[in-house]
Chains A and B, each alone.
Chain A
Amino acid sequence: MDPAISIKGLTKQFGPRTVVDNVTFSANIGEVLGFLGPNGAGKSTTMKMIVGFLSPSSGTAEVCGFDVLKNPIAVKGSVGYLPEGAPAYPDMTPLSFLRFISGIRGFNGSEREDRVHNAVRITRIEEVAEQPIETLSKGYKRRVGLAQALLHDPKVLILDEPTDGLDPNQKQVVRDLIIEMASTKCIVISTHILEEVDAVCSRAMIIASGKVVADGSPSELKSQSGSGDLEEVFRKVTLNA
């Protein structure tokens, strides 16, 4: 079977600046892959290329066997994507927003509604489902973004900083959700919070200056430092890059 995500030599240049530099990896269903790296390392840009928002300067990205350049709509159909900051239309309610997404995802009639209610239930946003999104707290907004991303039960979930700016309780809710879905999906999350890797990831990639500088399970990465401390490894590999 094809890997869920297969990236080869992915590169993105903005003018003279190389933001993502020849990134190659693949990931399978059942993996929770954490993109680690300092701010501006190219994590978000890599994700934006995988979901077909930005086109790569060179290299290829395949999701569920579809090439993102040749068949962008098939890729977008099989991915759930939470952009950084969980943008959503502020004057809509979560329900009307999710109904729109559900329709665009190709669901009709009662299934369209069922998908919406299921996503609302999984992400626990029932209480705020009929309030305008602009009035919601950060935690709820993030969960609306998650609901939107997993509404169509995609094989691949790309979550850009899903817990950034949340309080510890809200973080736990999101992490539990990720762990719950982990066995049936290929999930990629980006973060600069190292504790997150221990909490949810089965594999971590450290990205610095657009390059992959470390790749392995959290325990493999930890063993690279004498003290077994992930933070030390992170500093070591990102400062030299």
Chain B
Amino acid sequence: MRNIKLIFIREFTAYFATPLAYVFIVIFLMLSGLLTFFMGGFLERDQADLVPFFEFHPWLYLFLVPALSMRLWAEERKLGTIELFLTLPISMTEAVAGKFLAAWGFSITALFLTFPFWLTVNYLGNPDNGVVLASYIGSALMVGAYLAIGSMISALTKNQVIAFVITTATCFVLTLAGSPIILDFFSAWASADIVQAVGNFGFLPHFQSIQRGVIDFRDVIFFGSIIVIALTANAIIIDWRKAS
């Protein structure tokens, strides 16, 4: 635990040592605002909820999260610091978890900074704050799943741009897995069971169900297991191709 905490602190402060953190947070907040007010019609809807705000989160994360996760391991490889990092007296689990938790903690910080939306909606009306809280938790879980996948892909390469592109593509497929675009592709040749299995992997239905205000255990397990599986693969990949 102590080592995870130390790695977490080092990684978390590293975001703020460069403009990365500030650029990320500013862009995230600006885009959230634009999408909520203009595309989501937050005011025109005349309803006291944050649905138009959360609705766009999967799409925002789709290209912002890979920008965050691409550096996790690719940069260590590029700089050669991976050799230093992995010859410190820490376990692989601590290394992978510390880095992931720092990225997750940073994303949750950015998410937390959207609280003015919550203040606004409470000022304008009487929203169901339980639903808002559930949506925030759902959004945090979803961003964790995106990050874990990004971290795993970042472990495969020392080129951050490649990590970015592959992560975006993978997350795009996972986000839309339950939608007709992806399902039609599978239903053309795969059996109904497979199509349904693919559909179950979609991030959107799980996020939407939490957004309704019910934190269903199955949705939490879904995002939780995506995180655990991706990070386990991440550790195996690092162990397997440390040198290259």
Contacts and interface: CB of A to CB of B under 8 A. Distances in A.
A pairs with B = yes
A106 B2 CA distance: 9
Nearest to B7: A104
Interface in B225-244: 242-243
Contacts of B84: 81, 83, 87-88, 148
Contact of A53 (B9, B10, B18, B86): B86
Interface in A55-94: 73-74, 76-77, 79, 81, 83-85, 87-92
A96 B17 CA distance: 12
Contacts of B87: 51-53, 76, 79, 81, 83
A54 interface: yes
Nearest to B20: A91
Interface string A88-111: 111110001000110111100000
A79 B84 CA distance: 12
A104 B81 contact: no
B109 interface: no
A219 to B, nearest CB: 33
B79 interface: yes
A54 B81 contact: no
B6 A89 contact: no
Contacts of A124: none
B170 interface: no
B6 A87 contact: no
B24 to A, nearest CB: 15
Contacts of A83: 80, 83-84, 87
Interface stretch (B35-43, B61-69, B88-96, B127-135): B88-96
B90 A53 contact: no
Contact of A104 (B3, B79, B242, B243): B3
Interface of A: 14, 48, 51-54, 73-74, 76-77, 79, 81, 83-85, 87-92, 96, 100-101, 103-106, 132, 148
